[in-house]
Chains A and B, each alone.
Chain A
Amino acid sequence: MKFSIVVFPGSNCDQDCEHVVRELLGCEAEYVWHAETDLKGADAVIIPGGFAYGDYLRAGALARFSPVMESVGRFARQGGPVLGICNGFQVLLEAGLLPGAMRVNRDLRYVCRDVHLRIQSSETPFTRLYDEGSVVRMPIGHMEGNYTAPPSVLDELEREDRVVFRYCDERGAVADAANPNGADRAIAGICSRDRNVVGLMPHPDRCAEALLGNDQGLKMFQSAVTALAAR
């Protein structure tokens, strides 16, 4: 089973994702340079975190024009699982593979710390091993994670059960104080209409092994393995 990891100039979690896939999951990992169009036989695609193009202009705004994104779009339309983490989520929004946009965090600062997330839907290839409604702890690290979309789009996301993760407190309650960036409706991650493209601001790649104090993110990658095996 092969995960292809897209590398933009300025990606900086590409190696973290590679480590998870290869060392912790025991799957194949392949880097795909942004100028390439061949996804190298990917079974799943990861768009990792970082600062693609330095986040200049707007996070993800330049990366969407990279040649590789056309291939990722095609892969997604054919139902291939695509996971965008942090900057990868921002790129997916800019590329139109997921709806909505990111604003700068409401307190205008970069924030790196643990947050709690409620798994809103286990019906995606990246969350099928989590119990719906369960609470997981996961780190964030971003400047622009304040998710927004027009109310009609937000309503549609909710109606179609496409809000996959919501910020919450450790007991699972969604409250303003537990929202680290001001995201609309405490949305931390969403999926596409076909549910195969998932984007989230928190970093499952940073909490996938006990040595780092938390392995609750590993299930996200394991979910993809079981989803692909079930196909």
Chain B
Amino acid sequence: MAITPELVAGHNLSAEEYGRILEILGRQPNYVELGIFSAMWSEHCSYKSSRLHLRKFPTTGSRVIQGPGENAGVVDIGDGLAVAFKMESHNHPSFIEPYQGAATGVGGILRDIFTMGARPIASLNSLRFGSLDAPRMKHIVDGVVRGIAGYGNCMGIPTVGGETTFHSAYNGNILVNVFNAGIVRADRIFLGRAEGAGNPVVYVGSKTGRDGIHGATMASEEFAGNQTSQKRPNVQVGDPFTEKLLLEACLELFATDAVVGIQDMGAAGLTSSTFEMAGRAGSGVEIDLSKVPARETGMTPYEIMLSESQERMLLVCRSDRLPEVLAIFRKWELDAVEIGKVTDTGRVVLFFGGEKVADLPAAPLADEAPVYDRPRRPAAAPPPPRWPEEPEPSDYGACLRRILASPNVSEKSWIWTQYDHMVGTNTVERPGGDAAIVRVKGTARALALKSDVNPFFCALDPYRGAAIAVAEAARSISCTGGRPLAITDCLNFGNPEKPDVMAQFEAAVRGISDACRAFDIPVVSGNVSFYNETDGRAIPPTPTVGMVGLLEDVDLRVAMAFRRDGDRVALLGQTRDELGGSEFLRTVRGRDEGPCPEVDLAAERRLCELLLDLAASRSLSSAHDVADGGLAVALAESAMAGALGADIEVPGFVRHSALLFGESTGRAVVSFASGEERNIAERAAAAGVPLVMLGRIGGPRLRIARGDAPPIDEDLRDLTALWRSAFRRSIESAELL
């Protein structure tokens, strides 16, 4: 096939990029090679718009065993064990075909974890949907939740937590970010390297079909409104049963020392796995594509190289151990075929039916993809907010009820009861709390896991919003008694070729970097998802943070639920006169307004250290991060979770609405035995953390008073019933399509 400018453009390659291809090759590429370049240099695989900025992340630390650049990051947790974790997006496919899109997203992240040699033990997901009354939206929500459930449940990997936000800004482009963490012996980590000339290259797992061809390229384009059905064939179809077999087979194989390197065939399938494995090792590979197990007859080399069929792996093993490797996969009834050999030529050479169909240098495709410093120009400042001049509401109790019943704040058990969150018998803290806690069997330790970002804050100020995402995750994890260890991230943005989007991206990366430095934690893996736009409208910047924390002793954990009648309640941290970006403004006033709350990273760190210190001395009965909905919602959540009312008097110097519903950062609600009051006040003062005593736990009502102002005074059972039923009612209230 002749390589025409149209064909080049159809592969989403610019004229300049094509010029570079000619330079690298010293000749014209053929059709197969063009397809390979197109996939490898897609935004999705090459990070060409983001790479320059991602270099700012702190990625090292004494516990880091593997930083960014592999299938997942790995961090030491002691006892000879490590945690491998990563977060990935599957936004575009999930919008087009919600069930399969979300399911294969889970499948992809699980493969990333077990390719490292780790057994996946817990998943999280971070979901952003449009308004529930937007076209197709209930169908999308239902499909995404079923898809995550369908895949994760069948694999036997618990989904232990997550977050869900609804806003019309996601009507045309939802976000599905999935996280997984696995446990691996620190000295048995496997990497994606094709080492040792002469070693066999083995294809394992499902057969290759025509599904998902050019999926990576699709994720690197904007949508136009009417394209969702045309794009459906680009979405892959998942088979969790096969992946379960693949998981068990791989872990059985890893217990031997036969494997040299292994990589998941994820985005860009066989293309990225061959080039990246050879690129990382500085080696080459020679592959006979006619040996690749095909699901359909007549597949061309181009299709085989670009298919994104799921549940496939590429591995390199020691040449004398091949029979053993094949036998393990045979036991698990999986295809495993030697399709080529490692070479020392630095080239990926492909044959098909005895004919050479591609001959490309490995490293330049993998590592020397274009890097763009795209122009940036922050968007114009929004008009000044109206809330500072607005009168106070007349009924704060009604405000609280409305916020508790809003889709964003209401309890989401409709979602997480569809996920098996208990399989594996490690789930110590079930969904619904601040951070999920999973124990590490065979040790006294546990992991605290949390995904976080407030996209409303990010829309107002991407730098602060991103820094707050890290701070809030750290706060949630510290509330449980876990020490933040490291993060992964999933950076969801619009079209990077637009200067305002690129400005958001750069600011968010800076925000995450600064916050990570303040907490002294590294970024060890991550993913960038650009082009989250439909009809030219970008999503709010949504840099999702997935954080892993460590509890050295699971018995020292703290939960958010009020625990004992008579306990005292206190607020840690400073409340400012802030309502910007709050759920109160969105739900009660019906507006998105700024400014984004301030963030004081040093104060956030002090708060976290204090929480950890108090947890370690068993001084706390409960601890809960103050976030969406503000102080009143945090108090209500702790009360509802513990089925214990409270009598609260909030002293304060800011307007009552901000006191109750403002979302000032750096705060937590804690409760403790009445005898601990002085001890805790002294330790907070010593730590430099403001503390306000709020009242005591007990009774059937939640009463929150402020001087002479009319108090919130609600029956806790009614409040709980409202909070628990609101989401279920709104999602089930209309037909799904």
A212 with B244: CB separation less than 8 A = no
A211 with B245: CB separation less than 8 A = no
Say whether B456 faces chain A, with CB atoms less than 8 Å apart.
no
The residue that B417 contacts in the complex, of A111, A211, A213, with Cβ under 8 A, is A111
C-alpha spacing A84/B236, complex, angstroms = 35
A110 with B153: CB separation less than 8 A = yes
From A11, which residue of chain B is reached at the shortest CB distance? B156
Contact with B along A70-95 (1 / 0, CB 8 A): 00000000000000000000000000
Q: Smallest distance from the beta carbon of B162 to chain A beta carbons, Å? A: 14
C-alpha spacing A73/B413, complex, angstroms = 40
C-alpha spacing A50/B156, complex, angstroms = 7
A211 with B244: CB separation less than 8 A = no
Say whether A65 faces chain B, with CB atoms less than 8 Å apart.
no
Say whether A159 faces chain B, with CB atoms less than 8 Å apart.
no
Contact with A along B384-415 (1 / 0, CB 8 A): 00000000000000000000000000000100
Q: Which residues of B contact A206 (CB under 8 A)?
A: 422-423, 425
Q: Smallest distance from the beta carbon of B411 to chain A beta carbons, Å? A: 13
Q: Which residues of A contact B240 (CB under 8 A)?
A: 51, 54
Say whether B419 faces chain A, with CB atoms less than 8 Å apart.
yes
From B446, which residue of chain A is reached at the shortest CB distance? A211
Contact with A along B420-435 (1 / 0, CB 8 A): 1111110110100000
Contact with B along A54-70 (1 / 0, CB 8 A): 11100000000000000
C-alpha spacing A20/B425, complex, angstroms = 10
Q: Are A12 and B423 CB-contacts (below 8 A) given A51-B244, A110-B418, A112-B417? A: yes
Say whether A9 faces chain B, with CB atoms less than 8 Å apart.
yes
- B232-286 with Cβ < 8 A to chain A: 239-242, 244-245
The residue that B241 contacts in the complex, of A10, A113, A208, with Cβ under 8 A, is A10
Say whether A139 faces chain B, with CB atoms less than 8 Å apart.
yes
Q: Which residues of A contact B150 (CB under 8 A)?
A: 110
Q: Are A113 and B417 CB-contacts (below 8 A) given A13-B156, A51-B244? A: yes
A53 with B156: CB separation less than 8 A = no
A51 with B417: CB separation less than 8 A = no
A141 with B423: CB separation less than 8 A = yes
B422 with A12: CB separation less than 8 A = no
A56 with B241: CB separation less than 8 A = yes
The residue among A51, A54, A112, A206 with the most chain B CB atoms within 10 A of its own CB is: A112
Q: Smallest distance from the beta carbon of A108 to chain B beta carbons, Å? A: 10
C-alpha spacing A203/B244, complex, angstroms = 21
A55 with B245: CB separation less than 8 A = no
Say whether B333 faces chain A, with CB atoms less than 8 Å apart.
yes
Say whether A19 faces chain B, with CB atoms less than 8 Å apart.
yes
C-alpha spacing A49/B421, complex, angstroms = 14
A212 with B425: CB separation less than 8 A = yes
Q: Which residues of A contact B241 (CB under 8 A)?
A: 9-10, 51, 53-56
Say whether A16 faces chain B, with CB atoms less than 8 Å apart.
yes
C-alpha spacing A46/B653, complex, angstroms = 63
A139 with B422: CB separation less than 8 A = yes
B421 with A112: CB separation less than 8 A = yes
C-alpha spacing A53/B245, complex, angstroms = 10
Say whether B439 faces chain A, with CB atoms less than 8 Å apart.
yes
B428 with A211: CB separation less than 8 A = yes
Q: Smallest distance from the beta carbon of B426 to chain A beta carbons, Å? A: 8
Contact with B along A5-26 (1 / 0, CB 8 A): 0000110110110011000000
Q: Smallest distance from the beta carbon of A59 to chain B beta carbons, Å? A: 11
From A23, which residue of chain B is reached at the shortest CB distance? B441
Q: Are A9 and B333 CB-contacts (below 8 A) given A53-B241, A141-B422? A: yes
Q: Which residues of A contact B146 (CB under 8 A)?
A: 109
Q: Smallest distance from the beta carbon of B433 to chain A beta carbons, Å? A: 12
Q: Which residues of A contact B153 (CB under 8 A)?
A: 51, 110, 112, 141, 143
From B149, which residue of chain A is reached at the shortest CB distance? A110
Q: Which residues of B contact A169 (CB under 8 A)?
A: none
Say whether B302 faces chain A, with CB atoms less than 8 Å apart.
no
Say whether B154 faces chain A, with CB atoms less than 8 Å apart.
yes
A212 with B427: CB separation less than 8 A = yes
C-alpha spacing A56/B241, complex, angstroms = 9
C-alpha spacing A67/B146, complex, angstroms = 33
C-alpha spacing A211/B446, complex, angstroms = 11
Q: Smallest distance from the beta carbon of A65 to chain B beta carbons, Å? A: 14
A205 with B425: CB separation less than 8 A = yes
The residue that B439 contacts in the complex, of A51, A203, A211, with Cβ under 8 A, is A211
Say whether B554 faces chain A, with CB atoms less than 8 Å apart.
yes
Q: Are A10 and B425 CB-contacts (below 8 A) given A110-B153, A112-B418? A: no
C-alpha spacing A56/B421, complex, angstroms = 22
Say whether B155 faces chain A, with CB atoms less than 8 Å apart.
yes
Q: Smallest distance from the beta carbon of A88 to chain B beta carbons, Å? A: 14
Say whether B332 faces chain A, with CB atoms less than 8 Å apart.
yes
A19 with B423: CB separation less than 8 A = no
Contact with B along A129-143 (1 / 0, CB 8 A): 000000000010101
C-alpha spacing A56/B554, complex, angstroms = 38
Q: Which residues of B contact A10 (CB under 8 A)?
A: 154, 241, 244-245
C-alpha spacing A98/B245, complex, angstroms = 28
From B427, which residue of chain A is reached at the shortest CB distance? A212
C-alpha spacing A190/B420, complex, angstroms = 24
Q: Are A13 and B423 CB-contacts (below 8 A) given A109-B418, A110-B149? A: yes
Q: Which residues of A contact B419 (CB under 8 A)?
A: 110, 112
C-alpha spacing A82/B510, complex, angstroms = 59
Contact with B along A187-231 (1 / 0, CB 8 A): 000000000000000010110110111000000000000000000
B420 with A16: CB separation less than 8 A = no
Q: Smallest distance from the beta carbon of A58 to chain B beta carbons, Å? A: 14
B423 with A9: CB separation less than 8 A = no
C-alpha spacing A3/B150, complex, angstroms = 30
C-alpha spacing A44/B417, complex, angstroms = 32
From B240, which residue of chain A is reached at the shortest CB distance? A54
C-alpha spacing A224/B424, complex, angstroms = 22
C-alpha spacing A205/B156, complex, angstroms = 14
The residue that B422 contacts in the complex, of A15, A55, A112, with Cβ under 8 A, is A112
Q: Smallest distance from the beta carbon of B683 to chain A beta carbons, Å? A: 28
Q: Are A110 and B428 CB-contacts (below 8 A) given A10-B244, A12-B244, A51-B244? A: no
C-alpha spacing A212/B417, complex, angstroms = 17
Q: Which residues of A contact B154 (CB under 8 A)?
A: 10, 12, 51, 54-55
Q: Are A16 and B417 CB-contacts (below 8 A) given A51-B154, A211-B554? A: no
B423 with A16: CB separation less than 8 A = yes
Q: Smallest distance from the beta carbon of B229 to chain A beta carbons, Å? A: 25
A111 with B244: CB separation less than 8 A = no
- B129-169 with Cβ < 8 A to chain A: 146, 149-150, 153-156
C-alpha spacing A32/B242, complex, angstroms = 20
C-alpha spacing A211/B551, complex, angstroms = 14
C-alpha spacing A54/B421, complex, angstroms = 18
Q: Which residues of A contact B416 (CB under 8 A)?
A: 112
Q: Which residues of B contact A113 (CB under 8 A)?
A: 413, 417
From A53, which residue of chain B is reached at the shortest CB distance? B241
The residue that B425 contacts in the complex, of A16, A50, A54, A110, with Cβ under 8 A, is A16
Q: Smallest distance from the beta carbon of A62 to chain B beta carbons, Å? A: 10
The residue among A19, A56, A141, A209 with the most chain B CB atoms within 10 A of its own CB is: A141
A–B Cβ pairs within 8 angstroms, 20 of them: A9-B241, A9-B244, A9-B332, A20-B425, A49-B423, A54-B154, A54-B240, A54-B244, A110-B150, A111-B417, A112-B418, A112-B419, A112-B421, A141-B420, A141-B422, A143-B153, A205-B425, A212-B427, A212-B428, A213-B428
Contacts A9-B244, A9-B333, A54-B242 known; list 12 others, CB within 8 Å.
Answer: A10-B241, A12-B155, A12-B423, A51-B156, A51-B244, A54-B241, A54-B244, A110-B149, A112-B419, A141-B153, A205-B425, A211-B439
Q: Report A's interface with B, CB cutoff 8 A.
A: 9-10, 12-13, 15-16, 19-20, 49-51, 53-56, 109-113, 139, 141, 143, 203, 205-206, 208-209, 211-213
Listed from nearest, the 8 A-B pairs whose CB atoms lie closest are: A12-B156, A54-B241, A51-B154, A16-B425, A141-B420, A112-B420, A113-B417, A206-B422
